[in-house]
Structure 1
Amino acid sequence: MSTEVRVPTLGESVSEATVATWFKKPGDAVAVDEMLCELETDKVTVEVPSPVAGTLGEIVAQEGDTVGVDALLAMISEPGAAATPSEAAKAPAKAAPEAQDDAGGNVDVMVPALGESVSEATVASWFKKPGDAVEQDEMLCELETDKVSVEVPAPASGVLAEILAEEGSTVAAGGKLAVISGGAVASGASGTAAPAAPSSSSGRDVEDAPSAKKLMAEKGLSPDQVTGTGRDGRIMKEDVQKAAAAPAAQPAAAPAVPTPAAAPRAPVAADDAAREERVKMTRLRQTIARRLKDAQNTAAMLTTYNEADMGGIMDLRKEYKDQFEKKHGVKMGFMSFFVKACCHALNEVPEVNAEIDGTDVIYKNYVHMGVAVGTPNGLVVPVLRDAHQMGFAEIEKRIAEMGKRARDGKLSMAEMQGGSFTISNGGVYGSLMSSPILNPPQSGILGMHKIQERPMVVGGQIVARPMMYLALSYDHRIVDGKGAVTFLVRVKEALEDPRRLLMDL
């Protein structure tokens, strides 16, 4: 019996990858979840594990080949084809001896699925220590990815025998975190558990990239000669390439100096340094920083401004807020008016709701509205799917629910993917005016701001009106100035006269 090894999902907007390295060759024995090869995309490196235990047969995609999502990479021949009756008994022991110890009643705690395009996480905190009793579904630890926090429950009741991935270590999806024993007392070995896959040659407790290990062996380099730029000093393939090229330029170079992405920090006086605190950025903050910078580097970003008189909406809320809350069980906020106004404007100016894919423009006949939410760990953008089909009450309920779950770190990956347009409300923090940055691959984002009374001319008289500045940042590669201004004017008109929303004007 043979099993296919195929290209996994590579992430949103990523459709192909290059086969970088094969760690096995035809005829080699492989275990379940053992890494077979490494794929490189224009965004991330993806390791492909073996789906079954067996023998690697034919390799269909060679190193250097370009492959699409779900393309066939190789075939694995499963053992015991000629001895089918004993196949089930042999497979567990051969695939992964540590996966399940039936005799001792041990159960492995594994890293759960982390979501599309997320292949690894950092162990943020353990809620239990070796020797503690645990109940099934009791939370054992919390993992942090570059997008969300994931809590890992106990798969069974028992005693936490050993922790294999300590706090701060990086673990891959499907990796092993700990072992739960069914006995009353934890094994004496539990106190000697070491971080998973330490690097024996360098004494570091960080697992280097497999492609980096292979290249170091080819170049005759040791980990001590390479400066890792990955998380916690993890050595990546690019680091080995730089180290291999360094001797040509600097024959007797001093110990390697890290090459930061930005310019080196200026010297700091000793007394000032003693009063500073250096804290490593969370994965979420690193991702926010990278995506925002990518947006500036990729899109031809431009911002246009307007202002809206919020008096009409404020009068409407004052008149109907009690009835609205009594009927729908949720307060009538401003955000539902903005979501509805943007949906109407996007219908008239569809390029603001579109995205660029290579030399194509993808127009979307739906509105998946991203609503930026500030959390203690950074900005996240949950998505209201098919917002154009929602009423005011449903919008308010969904925003309230997702906002709470975002602040609690309970949002799923699916709830933060696929947005086609974003609204960011800096006004809740007192912002009077700002230029929001695009959320790639989207082509538009609307910035809301503080409502402030300002003198305005109304009917030839100067009166104080509750005004809000509106800012639309857009990708000028796909959205022309006329379209951007038209969009913002339509939003302004809908906000100043909410009746237009009811009449679809």
Structure 2
Amino acid sequence: MPVEVKVPSFGDSIVEVVIGQWFKKVGEAISPDDELVEVESEKSTLPIVATHGGVLQEILAQPGETVAVGAVVARLADAGAVVSAPAAPPAASPSTPPATNGAGSAPSATTSETIVMPAAARALAEKGLSAADVTASGPGGRLLKEDVLRHSSTPAPAPAPAAPKPAPATTPSTIVTTTTAPAGERVVRRQPLTTIRKRIAQRLVEAQHNAALLTTFNEIDMSAAMALRKEYQDKFVEKYGIKLGFMSFFVKATINALLAYPAINAEIQGGDIVMHDYVDMGIAVGGGKGLVVPVIRSAEKLSFAEIEMSINKLAKRAMENSLKPQDLEGGTFTISNGGVYGSLLSTPIVNPPQSGVLGMHSIQERAMVVNGQIVARPMMYVALTYDHRIVDGKEAVSFLKRIKECVESPLRLMLEV
């Protein structure tokens, strides 16, 4: 009896997904726990895993289709069953008159099997033609650039009035168009927004519309943190197998500041302010499909090493597109490090319903006055964007100043003062 493969629940907030790449073909043997297809939700890209063994009998959802959670996307037959491959499109009836080009040449190969080569696609766009207008002469029914040029150079009779062609169906693949201009050939690529990017756009616009956002800035002398990191880096790597980064310093300093100014760790729900006595720290990282914000749970209970290992693990999974929905849910505050990409200064946007986000930036040596002397110091600008509906300016400035003091004197982080 066939087994239905359904889209599992990836979290209460996810109601639909977009079908991505199928890893198995119809007729292929399936074992339990095999990855069948990749699906993309508004938060992450995840595989659907087979719960039963057998043979892939039928694929019901194609790449690019949006399907609801719980929808059937494939069926598995019992192991050993013979499954035929999808039937090829029926051949044209002998009674159907062959299509000819303007010169009365041989029948055109513009059927569903026609493969349009890239150079031919550009030539079609330049000439204002479609693949159906040209006879394909390449191997396997391929439409070549030479076919388009040959067709264009042949005088054609005045065309009879014809019904307008239906618009081509849209697909999630990239559409490439080419125009010829005095400056030369210029290519324009058009592709749809991914589900994740749509969700990012929606949330950021929501934050701009619903919150009273302000940003305050400060700068931090990184000398002490850099010296401490350099002194203990080898021992840290030897003990934990990963390098000690600056993010763990800022996570610890931010936790210290959040506990001192809890309104920045709160959120508004309706007419209430919801305070959190814990810190679920979101760390913005660039993943394979765009910016994601995985969350370190109860970060206030973690050591430097545990924070660094958590960041390393989540960043790696983000690059592999293997984050789970639960990795991205919640969060009471977010840190975004634009410095890894070279940003010197920016104004981060709050991740709703949170009330604050800290932006880190590049470390640059700058001339600073220390004890009346001009010296070069490694400096970093930091920015706090906050929701003024719940956080006052005095709290925001004091919060950022607290982070500055902790990073410039890391011993405070050990003593938690």
- TM class, shorter-length: 0.7 to 0.9
Contact 1:436 1:446 in 2 (8 A): yes
State whether structure 2 residue 63 is matched by structure 1 residue 167. Answer: yes
- CA–CA separation in structure 2 for the residues paired with 1:305 and 1:327: 36
Deviations 1:51-90 (A, max 9, x none): xxxxxxxxxxxxxxxxxxxxxxxxxxxxxxxxxxxxxxxx
Task: Mark the CA change 1:354 to 1:131 in structure 2 (over 3 Å): closer, same or farther.
Answer: same
1:296 corresponds to which letter in structure 2? Answer: Q
The percent identity for this pair of structures is 52
- CA–CA separation in structure 2 for the residues paired with 1:328 and 1:114: 32
- 1:324 aligned counterpart, secondary structure: helix
Aligned to 2:167: none
Aligned to 1:479: 391
State whether structure 2 residue 30 is matched by structure 1 residue 115. Answer: no
- CA–CA separation in structure 1 for the residues paired with 2:201 and 2:214: 19
Choose 296-305 or 318-327, whichever is displaced more. 318-327
1:332 corresponds to which letter in structure 2? Answer: L
Contact 1:162 1:189 in 2 (8 A): no
- CA–CA separation in structure 1 for the residues paired with 2:259 and 2:64: 47
Aligned to 1:22: none
Structure 1 length as normaliser, TM-score?
Answer: 0.62
CA RMSD, aligned part only? 1.9
- CA–CA separation in structure 1 for the residues paired with 2:237 and 2:329: 30
- 1:275 aligned counterpart, secondary structure: strand
Shift of 1:192: 8.5
- CA–CA separation in structure 2 for the residues paired with 1:306 and 1:290: 29
Task: Mark the CA change 1:379 to 1:460 in structure 2 (over 3 Å): closer, same or farther.
Answer: same
Contact 1:130 1:186 in 2 (8 A): no
Shift of 1:185: 4.7
- 2:263 aligned counterpart, secondary structure: helix
State whether structure 2 residue 64 is matched by structure 1 residue 152. Answer: no
Aligned to 2:302: 390
Deviations 1:249-286 (A, max 9, x none): xxxxxxxxxxxxxxxxxxx9964797211101100011
Aligned to 1:400: 312
- CA–CA separation in structure 2 for the residues paired with 1:373 and 1:192: 45
Deviations 1:162-190 (A, max 9, x none): 11111111111111111111153544485
Deviations 1:278-310 (A, max 9, x none): 101100011111111111111100000000000
Task: Mark the CA change 1:302 to 1:164 in structure 2 (over 3 Å): closer, same or farther.
Answer: same
Contact 1:131 1:190 in 2 (8 A): no
User: Structure 1 runs of 4+ off > 6 angstroms?
Assistant: none
- CA–CA separation in structure 1 for the residues paired with 2:72 and 2:86: 15
Contact 1:162 1:191 in 2 (8 A): no
State whether structure 2 residue 132 is matched by structure 1 residue 132. Answer: no
Aligned to 1:368: 280
Deviations 1:4-45 (A, max 9, x none): xxxxxxxxxxxxxxxxxxxxxxxxxxxxxxxxxxxxxxxxxx
Alignment of structure 1 residues 195-214 onto 2, 5 Å: none
Aligned to 1:56: none
- CA–CA separation in structure 1 for the residues paired with 2:344 and 2:85: 60
Aligned to 1:177: 73
- 2:187 aligned counterpart, secondary structure: coil
Deviations 1:199-256 (A, max 9, x none): xxxxxxxxxxxxxxxxxxxxxxxxxxxxxxxxxxxxxxxxxxxxxxxxxxxxxxxxxx
Contact 1:345 1:491 in 2 (8 A): yes
User: Which residues of structure 2 form unaligned runs of 5+?
Assistant: 90-176
State whether structure 2 residue 39 is matched by structure 1 residue 143. Answer: yes
Aligned to 2:339: 427
Aligned to 1:288: 200
- Greater relative contact order, per chain length (Cα 8 Å cut-off, separation 6+): 2
Task: Mark the CA change 1:183 to 1:346 in structure 2 (over 3 Å): closer, same or farther.
Answer: closer
Aligned to 1:3: none
1:470 corresponds to which letter in structure 2? Answer: V
Shift of 1:376: 2.4
- CA–CA separation in structure 2 for the residues paired with 1:319 and 1:362: 41
- 2:188 aligned counterpart, secondary structure: coil
Shift of 1:139: 1.4
- 1:131 aligned counterpart, secondary structure: coil
- Count, aligned residues: 327
- CA–CA separation in structure 2 for the residues paired with 1:428 and 1:112: 36
Alignment of structure 1 residues 50-69 onto 2, 5 Å: none
Contact 1:161 1:190 in 2 (8 A): no
Contact 1:139 1:153 in 2 (8 A): yes
Contact 1:114 1:120 in 2 (8 A): no
1:435 corresponds to which letter in structure 2? Answer: T
- CA–CA separation in structure 2 for the residues paired with 1:321 and 1:381: 27
- CA–CA separation in structure 2 for the residues paired with 1:407 and 1:138: 21
- CA–CA separation in structure 2 for the residues paired with 1:317 and 1:187: 60
Contact 2:9 2:70 in 1 (8 A): yes
- 2:232 aligned counterpart, secondary structure: helix
State whether structure 2 residue 254 is matched by structure 1 residue 358. Answer: no
Alignment of structure 1 residues 488-499 onto 2, 5 Å: 488-499=400-411
Shift of 1:335: 0.8
Contact 2:34 2:49 in 1 (8 A): yes
Choose 356-365 or 392-401, whichever is displaced more. 356-365
Choose 272-281 or 304-313, whichever is displaced more. 272-281
- CA–CA separation in structure 1 for the residues paired with 2:87 and 2:326: 38
- CA–CA separation in structure 1 for the residues paired with 2:245 and 2:178: 50
